């Protein structure tokens, strides 16, 4: 919880000369104390000020909270809500005239608000209440507030900079050094650059880098020295100090600092005595297994001892840059040496102590090769498979009309004679009544014609009666066909009219597709590379996605000699018949089939596809 600081005086003119306030403004690390000192100094410069508050973004609160006040904490700041929201929304200074019953004709009350924001992020809002007579004074107060808020913004920036930890400093040095090393095209240049940069960064008169070779340290770079003789006494002393640190797998420094080290320092003492060096520190470079492959030695001529803080920095930077130098050292070797050392390292792991997992893995792989070289298994061709009805009956609209009702949809099991849907037959019934009425009319006219013995008219009316009967029978048949019934026991594989009630349909339009139960055919999509192994009569097994635990037997019936393509893949259609029929089977189910071919070696079964692909590509690439 943030403590709320308060003003100790209500005389603003006394603040400007208070040295404590100015000292807090320059050196305080507390947000409430800084803001309280700032608002007291700021109010001493504002004409007509009688109340002010700093609203700040406190981490433990989701909204702005008052942390500094003038002249004291009023407790309730609800009347600042409007101007605060306006400042946050517009992100600029705002002036609002405050309606007050005590406001006189000479003086007016105003609220001045200004945001505290850095890089478009809001940190707080300053609100002042003033009572002035002239607009010019109001503008002057706003300018002073705008100038004063700069102190708050500067405080935010200064606080943000202090949040960087010391590890960030090391990380920056490491990143800069890493980028510089990676730009070098050779290991020798990278080592020299590293030694020079470390010497400059840590105020060392000499930094040396060495790597193990034949279990002894070999110096590869000395700061500010392009060349050095390997037989120099200095080189031998530095290499001896590096060996001392590498053998103990830990940093070694002389003279002692506040940290006690129970380590052998004879080599470092000899180097310090011979070269009259004030302080020496050697840090080994370790790999992921904890083994050392090199070391870096830091030397100072003055009496500035390497403290624990600096040694920690050395370990951090060496851990980062050491692996990069080691990788460059390995890459700088000629290709023959790289291959030789790589094989040598693996052989040492294989025949040396430890590395049990590697040894077991090699033995296991060897056993697998031997096993697969002689073991045989069933060679089966796998193909994507779909289940279809042996036949499919289409139910089409018998005439132009409208859908009245629908009783079935795709997936429903129906029985023979079951009504699937009905079409609106009102118009047909009216037309049939019209045909019946015309027949009765023609019949009456026929009787009259026969009474007067009009033979020609009698023949005409007789034909019209026959025509009316035909039309009546036609409408009757159409009315009967308005109820669409299933022709056999089966399942609806397509068609859903439940969302089309009242919709028009045309004569011949397919409304349903029905497939019989207990009668299926299996469609396999066999890859073109495997089709040569398939023959009619071969047996196999089908597993459907919806029934994964049930294996169904099948027999190949027909191989289509024409290839099809789908999604950039060519395949042949192969038809098969099911030997096992389940009640759960439905047309449209999909799965995978395996057709048994013969027994072959396991190594061939698992690699023949890859070998065939390689052969094809080689033939394609060869001139």
The DSSP string of 172-187 is: HHHHHHHHHHHT-SSH
Of the given ranges (33-37, 165-169, 303-307, 336-340), which has the lowest mean pLDDT? 165-169
Both 527 and 563 in one domain: the answer is yes
Backbone angles phi, psi at 448, to 5 degrees: -65, -40
Question: How far is the C-alpha of 508 from the C-alpha of 504, rounded, in Å?
Answer: 12
Instruction: Check if the beta carbon of residue 571 is closer than 8 Å to that of residue 527.
Output: yes
**Would you state the structure tokens that stand for residue 471, as one six-digit string?**
């039309």
Span 35-45, average pLDDT: 86
Question: How far is the C-alpha of 40 from the C-alpha of 148, rounded, in Å?
Answer: 11
pLDDT tens string 325-342: 988 888 877 777 777 777
Instruction: Identify the CATH number of the domain in which residue 539 sits.
Output: 2.40.30.170
Both 194 and 212 in one domain: the answer is yes
Both 324 and 407 in one domain: the answer is no
Q: Please give the tally of structural domains in the chain.
A: 4
Residue 359 domain flag: no
Place of tokens 């492959």: 293
Both 297 and 175 in one domain: the answer is yes
Both 459 and 529 in one domain: the answer is no
Q: Is the pTM of this model over 0.75?
A: no
**Which 3 state secondary structure label does DSSP give 466?**
helix
**Would you state the structure tokens that stand for residue 497, as one six-digit string?**
């009219």
Question: How far is the C-alpha of 609 from the C-alpha of 22, rounded, in Å?
Answer: 83
**In the predicted model, what is the mean pLDDT of the chain?**
82
Both 30 and 123 in one domain: the answer is yes
Instruction: Check if the beta carbon of residue 418 is closer than 8 Å to that of residue 395.
Output: no
Rg (the chain; Cα; Å):
48
Instruction: Check if the beta carbon of residue 263 is closer than 8 Å to that of residue 241.
Output: no
pLDDT of residue 2: 37
Instruction: Identify the CATH number of the domain in which residue 179 sits.
Output: 3.30.450.40
Q: What angle, rounded to 10 degrees, do the helices at 308-331 and 335-351 form?
A: 110
Determine which helix (DSSP H) or strand (DSSP E) holds 392, and give its type and residue range. Answer: none
pLDDT of residue 285: 93
Proportion of the chain in helix, strand, coil states, percent, rounded to 5: 40, 30, 30
Place of tokens 């050095």: 228
Residue 367 domain flag: no
Percent of the chain with pLDDT over 90: 12
- Looking at 135, 162, 189, the residue that finishes a domain is 162
Question: Is the pLDDT confidence value at 203 over 90?
Answer: no
Question: Is the pLDDT confidence value at 594 over 90?
Answer: yes
Span 578-601, average pLDDT: 86
Instruction: Check if the beta carbon of residue 519 is closer than 8 Å to that of residue 582.
Output: no
- Looking at 143, 162, 181, the residue that finishes a domain is 162
Structural domain for 114, as ranges: 12-162
Contacts of 446 (CB under 8 A, 6+ apart): 458, 461, 462, 465
pLDDT of residue 101: 54
Query: Peptide bond before 337: cis, by omega within 30 degrees of 0?
Result: no
pLDDT tens string 395-438: 888 888 888 888 888 877 888 888 888 887 787 788 888 888 88
Both 573 and 541 in one domain: the answer is yes
Q: What is the DSSP string of 198-240?
A: HHHHTT-SEEEEEEEETTEEEEEEETTBS---TT-HHHHHHHH
Residue 573 domain flag: yes
Query: Peptide bond before 71: cis, by omega within 30 degrees of 0?
Result: yes
Both 505 and 546 in one domain: the answer is no
Residue 53 domain flag: yes
Both 500 and 527 in one domain: the answer is no
Residue 78 DSSP class: G
Both 438 and 491 in one domain: the answer is yes
Which residue, among 409, 416, 407, 399, has the nearest Cα to 480 in the 3D structure?
Answer: 399
Determine which helix (DSSP H) or strand (DSSP E) holds 502, and give its type and residue range. Answer: none
**Which 3 state secondary structure label does DSSP give 112?**
strand
Residue 3 DSSP class: P
Which residue, among 264, 205, 204, has the nearest Cα to 240 in the 3D structure?
Answer: 264
Task: List the Cα angle 297/302/305 in 5-degree steps.
Answer: 65
Q: Please write down the HEC assignment for all residues of 578-593.
A: ECCCCCCCCCCCEEEE
pLDDT of residue 579: 86
Of the given ranges (189-203, 355-369, 533-547), which has the lowest mean pLDDT? 355-369
Residue 21 domain flag: yes
Higher pLDDT, 117 or 446: 117
Both 191 and 325 in one domain: the answer is yes
Higher pLDDT, 14 or 516: 516
Q: What is the DSSP string of 74-129?
A: -S--GGGHHHHHHHHHHTS-EEEEPP-TT--SS-EEEEEEEEEEETTEEEEEEEEE
pLDDT of residue 295: 94
pLDDT of residue 209: 93
Instruction: Check if the beta carbon of residue 128 is closer than 8 Å to that of residue 112.
Output: yes
Question: How far is the C-alpha of 306 from the C-alpha of 265, rounded, in Å?
Answer: 15
Of the given ranges (232-236, 271-275, 440-444, 476-480), which has the lowest mean pLDDT? 476-480
- Looking at 302, 332, 362, the residue that finishes a domain is 332
Tell me how far the alpha carbon of residue 322 is from its chain's centroid. Answer: 33
Question: How far is the C-alpha of 163 from the C-alpha of 170, rounded, in Å?
Answer: 15
pLDDT of residue 303: 67
Half-sphere exposure of 74 (CA within 13 A, CB side): 15
pLDDT of residue 5: 39
Question: How far is the C-alpha of 263 from the C-alpha of 276, rounded, in Å?
Answer: 21
pLDDT of residue 7: 40
Question: Is the pLDDT confidence value at 4 over 50?
Answer: no
Task: Count Cβ atoms below 10 Å from residue 457 Cβ, excluding itself.
Answer: 15
Instruction: Identify the CATH number of the domain in which residue 407 sits.
Output: 2.40.50.100
Higher pLDDT, 576 or 495: 576
Question: Is the pLDDT confidence value at 560 over 80?
Answer: yes
**N-term to C-term CA, the chain:** 80
Both 571 and 509 in one domain: the answer is no
Residue 357 domain flag: no
Which residue, among 308, 254, 316, has the nearest Cα to 281 in the 3D structure?
Answer: 254
Backbone angles phi, psi at 137, to 5 degrees: -65, -35
Residue 181 domain flag: yes
Residue 7 domain flag: no
pLDDT tens string 81-116: 888 889 988 888 888 887 655 555 556 788 889 999
């Amino acid at each position: 919880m943030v403590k709320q600081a308060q003003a100790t005086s209500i005389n603003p003119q006394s603040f400007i000369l208070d040295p404590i306030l100015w000292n807090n403004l320059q050196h305080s690390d507390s947000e409430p104390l800084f803001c309280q000192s700032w608002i007291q100094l700021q109010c001493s410069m504002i004409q007509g000020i009688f109340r002010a508050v700093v609203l700040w973004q406190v981490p433990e609160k989701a909204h702005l909270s008052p942390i500094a006040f003038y002249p004291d904490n009023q407790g309730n700041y609800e009347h600042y809500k409007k101007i605060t929201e306006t400042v946050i929304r517009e992100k600029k200074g705002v002036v609002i005239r405050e309606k007050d019953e005590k406001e006189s004709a000479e003086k007016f009350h105003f609220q001045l608000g200004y945001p505290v924001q850095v890089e478009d992020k809001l940190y707080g809002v300053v609100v002042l209440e003033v009572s002035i007579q002239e607009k010019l004074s109001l503008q002057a107060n706003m300018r002073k507030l705008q100038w004063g808020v700069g102190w708050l913004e500067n405080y935010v920036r200064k606080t943000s900079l202090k949040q960087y930890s010391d590890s960030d400093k090391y990380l920056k040095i490491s990143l800069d050094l890493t980028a510089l090393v990676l730009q070098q095209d050779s290991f020798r240049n990278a080592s020299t650059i590293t030694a020079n940069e470390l010497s400059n960064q840590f105020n060392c008169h000499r930094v040396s880098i060495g790597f193990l070779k034949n279990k002894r340290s070999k110096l590869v770079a000395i700061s500010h020295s392009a060349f050095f003789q390997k037989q120099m006494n200095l080189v031998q002393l530095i290499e001896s100090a590096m060996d001392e640190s590498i053998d103990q797998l830990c940093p070694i420094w002389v003279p002692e600092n506040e940290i006690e080290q129970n380590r052998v320092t004879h080599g470092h003492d000899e180097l310090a005595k011979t070269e009259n060096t004030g302080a020496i520190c050697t840090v080994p470079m370790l790999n992921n297994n904890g083994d050392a492959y090199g070391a870096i030695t830091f030397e100072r001529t003055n009496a500035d001892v390497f403290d624990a803080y600096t040694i920690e920095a050395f370990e951090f930077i060496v851990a980062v840059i050491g692996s990069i130098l080691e990788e460059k050292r390995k890459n700088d070797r000629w290709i023959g040496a790289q291959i030789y050392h790589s094989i040598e390292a693996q052989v040492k792991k294989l025949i040396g102590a430890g590395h049990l997992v590697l040894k077991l893995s090699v033995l296991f792989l060897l056993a697998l090769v031997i096993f697969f070289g002689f073991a045989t298994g069933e060679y089966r061709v796998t193909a994507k498979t779909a289940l279809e009805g042996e036949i499919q009956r289409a139910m089409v609209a018998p005439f132009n009309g409208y859908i009245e009702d629908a009783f079935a949809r795709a997936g429903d099991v129906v029985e023979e004679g079951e009504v699937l849907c009905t079409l609106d037959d009102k118009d047909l019934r009216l037309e049939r009544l019209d045909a019946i009425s015309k027949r009765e009319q023609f019949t009456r006219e026929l009787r009259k014609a026969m009474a007067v013995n009009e033979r020609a008219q009698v023949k005409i009316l007789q034909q019209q009666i026959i025509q009316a009967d035909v039309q009546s029978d036609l409408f009757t048949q159409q009315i009967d066909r308005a109820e669409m019934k299933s022709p056999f026991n089966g399942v609806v594989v397509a068609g859903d009219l439940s969302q089309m009630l009242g919709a028009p349909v045309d004569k011949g339009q397919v409304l349903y597709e029905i497939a019989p139960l207990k009668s299926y055919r299996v469609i396999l999509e066999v890859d073109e590379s495997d089709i040569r192994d398939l023959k009619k009569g071969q047996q196999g097994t089908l597993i459907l996605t919806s029934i994964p635990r049930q294996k169904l037997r099948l027999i190949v019936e027909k191989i289509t000699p024409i290839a099809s393509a789908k999604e950039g893949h060519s395949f042949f259609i192969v038809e098969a018949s099911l030997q096992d029929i389940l009640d759960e089977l439905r047309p449209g189910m999909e799965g995978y089939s395996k057709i048994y071919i013969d027994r072959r070696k396991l190594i061939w079964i698992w690699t023949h596809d890859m070998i065939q692909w390689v052969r094809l590509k080689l033939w394609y690439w060869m001139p």
